[in-house]
Each structure stands twice: as structure tokens, then as C-alpha cells.
Amino acid sequence: MPLDLTSPKLAGNGGRPVRTKRWLDNFTFGEEDKRAAVAAIESGYLSKFEGSHTPDPPFSFRGGPYVQRFEAMWSEYYGVKFSVSVNSATSGLFAALGALGVGFGDEVIVSPSTMTACAVGPLLYGAIPIFGDVERKTGALDPASLQKVITPRTKVIIVVHQYGIPADMDPIMAIARAHGLKVIEDCAQSHAAKYRGRFVGTIGDIGVFSLNVNKSIQCGEGGVCTTADENLKYRLELIRNHGEAVVGPAGYTDITNILGFNFRMTEILAAIAIEQLKKLDEINRVRIGYVEYLNDRIADYEFLETMLGRERCVSTFYTWPLIFRPEVAGVDVESFRRALNQEGMYFIRGYKPLYLQPLYQTKTLFKHGYPWSAAENRDIRTNYEAGSCPIAEEMRERILVNEYIRLPNTQGDLDDILTAIAKVAGATQ
């Protein structure tokens, strides 16, 4: 039976809302984090980075003791050779693309259903983003779509493990290796997720993680790049820290893209991140349990589908994604979302495909239309027209996401979500 969103019982029509209490934000801190931050302050050094080719001590090209300890702990946890901390995952993506030598005349395949930095990163170096389509049940880049957009100019594939659900990495890596392509894994939403026994972020050439305030673990702002390649590790470090001033004294000659930024992490952030990493397993246990609890209790609603993750993988659910079926509900996704939020919920829509943003529709970034208008890029065929990625566009009209499936919110808070869904679904009764 179609939903009746005109019922006077609904809060949007004058009824009493299910919830008036505010939702709790992503407070993952405790006394241990405070002690770590104070200890970093009391050391007297809030940063020990030096933008030149300097060894330890007292200042270093590779940062201070907290930064280096955090990187070592991250590598040990993920079982990866090298970890390079940065001040954000956006910086990490930019550094990763630079480290891989992306530039004018290159194409980078990107998911259209993700945060904007993935597609802006190539443009920073003069390369052109080309969009692959996504899978319906995971929101991740669809391996089948890659074959349709790979050209002789393709250099890198950026894979996003959306919602904490691993992308299908085996076929993606097989396609990449067959075409001689590099792979960046965007793991901003997928801390400790696993694809067939391997941590995401350790399968491609470079993994990028976020420690932003909203992420599963966080230090306010921050990020980490992971790699098994020592040269890529060094290039990431150069781009992080004024590399153009370092390559001469270091005797490093592969200087393409080594325009060093200041992507450095502070000692305080690293000290907090060390404590956060210790909590990751427990935080993920709670998140996974919350999503399982919710999914079990909405299974009977035919107008909703759950994203259960991928077989033989561990999904860590940065958010709770739902697929709404307007053809069953008899209303569109925005009307349903609005009705839920008027009951005191906080659901947001899925991603609008990036290529429909003004940046790509007008190809306006730098002066004179660069980098699209550069001589090396003029014959690149972009796929920014409506209909280019039909599944991504369809899912924009179907995906609903809730971010509050996390501590310090409790199972009682989850019950409010379930009550609101039941109220809106049963408004005809």
C-alpha cells in the first residue's frame, strides 16, 4: 500500500514528533586522549617538521616523535610497509596523485558518487577526471564500468570504499594490471574494512584514510596514506613537506610533481590519533552491531532495501545506507526523507553525481579553461553529460543515509529511528 504522507499523525502535518532530543555528535574522546594532547603540549613542540632535508633531532623532514610513532603504529595495525600522515584525506589524495606522476594528457577514472576531492585532485595536476559508474547494492565503483571508459590515456583508477563497504577489488586490480594502471583506494569511510581477508587501503598502490571529525576515528582533521612501495612513500613525504626545497640536497632526480605543499600533521593531532587507533576495533564493533540491529528490524518494509555489504568481506559502516524504492512507496525519496526528518530524524540524500556540478558542466577551474583547454587535453572525450553514469544517477533518487549509527548514541536512539520509520510507513493505519 502506498505511503500516506498527508496523515495528521505525522509531525509535518501537525502531529507530535517521535524525537525532540538532539542527536549526539561523533565524540570519540576520553581521558586518555586529553592526557596525550597535554603530554604533546608539555613536550614544548607542537610540530617538529622542518621543510628541508634535515635528519633527527631536533627537527626533521619527517616530523616529530608523535608523528613518527603514529605512522609506525598505523603500519603495524594494517600490516603495510609504509604509512605517511597528512593533515587531511583531501591532502592525502592530492599527494597520492602527485606521487603517481599524474599530469597533463592523463585521464583518471573516478567514482561519480563520492566527495569532490577525488575528482578535483587530478585537475590540480592538469589531468582530466573520467567517471565510471557504481554498483547498485554497494555504491562502489563497478568493475564492469571500467572497461567502457579506459583509454590509452588512462593512468590511475581511484576506488572509493563507500559507506564502509569494500569495493570489488580483485576484478578492479586485474583490470588495472592488465592495462598498466595504478590504483588509489579512498578509505576515508572504511577504517579497518576488509576485502577477502585484506584490509582496504593495502590492496592498491596507495591507500588514503581520513581522520576528520566525522570519521570512525578522528583527531579533528588529519589523514594517512599507506603504500608498500618505498619510492612512493618518499614521494608522498616530499609532496607533504616542501619537497622542491628538499630534492636538491637529497640528490633525488625524479622531481615531476614534487611541488611540496604543507600537508603536515601536528604533534598534538598525532598524539590524539595514536589513542584513537587503539579504540578502532571497539568503535567498529559497535557500529557494525548498530547496523545489524537496524537492518534486522526493517526487513519487512518492501519499500526499503538494506546495503548488506559484500560476501567474504568485512564492512565497517561509516554510515547506515538505505535504498528507497519509490515505485513501491508511491512517494519520492525526498518526500519520505522530509517526513522522517520532521519526526526528529537526520537522514540525508545520496551523492549527486559529481559530473553534474557546475565545475564539470562549464569546465571552469583555472583561467582560460585549464586544464581542459590545455593542448595535451583538448582531444580527451569527457563523459559529463546527464546519463553518463545511469546507475549513479538512479541511486541519487534512491539512497538515504543516516550518520548517527555511532557512539555516544545508544540502542535507544536507534529505536527512535525505527519508530519514525514505522510511523511514516503506517500513517494510513
Mean pLDDT by 10 residues, the chain (429 residues): 91 96 94 97 95 84 96 98 98 98 98 96 98 96 97 98 97 98 98 98 98 96 98 98 95 94 98 98 97 96 92 95 96 97 96 97 96 97 97 96 95 97 79
From 3.40.1030.10, 3.40.640.10, 3.30.360.10, 3.40.30.10, which CATH number describes the 31-276 domain?
Answer: 3.40.640.10
Taking a C-beta distance cutoff of 8 angstroms, is the pair 116, 356 a contact?
A: no
What pLDDT was estimated at residue 20? 96
CA distances to 150, 228, 237, 246, 321 from 50, in Å: 41, 25, 12, 10, 43
Question: What is the C-alpha to C-alpha distance for residues 141 and 157, in angstroms, rounded to an integer?
Answer: 10
List the chain domain ranges. 31-276
Phi, psi angle pair for 412, to nearest 5°: -60, -35
Question: What is the C-alpha to C-alpha distance for residues 143 and 305, in angstroms, rounded to an integer?
Answer: 22
What pLDDT was estimated at residue 428? 40
The helix (H) or strand (E) run that includes residue 195 is strand 194-195
State how far Cα 90 lies from the chain centre: 9
Residue 73 is placed in which grid cell? 603504529
Q: Supply the Cα-derived Rg of the chain in whole angstroms.
A: 23
What pLDDT was estimated at residue 427? 58
The reply to whether omega before 8 is within 30° of 0 (cis) is no
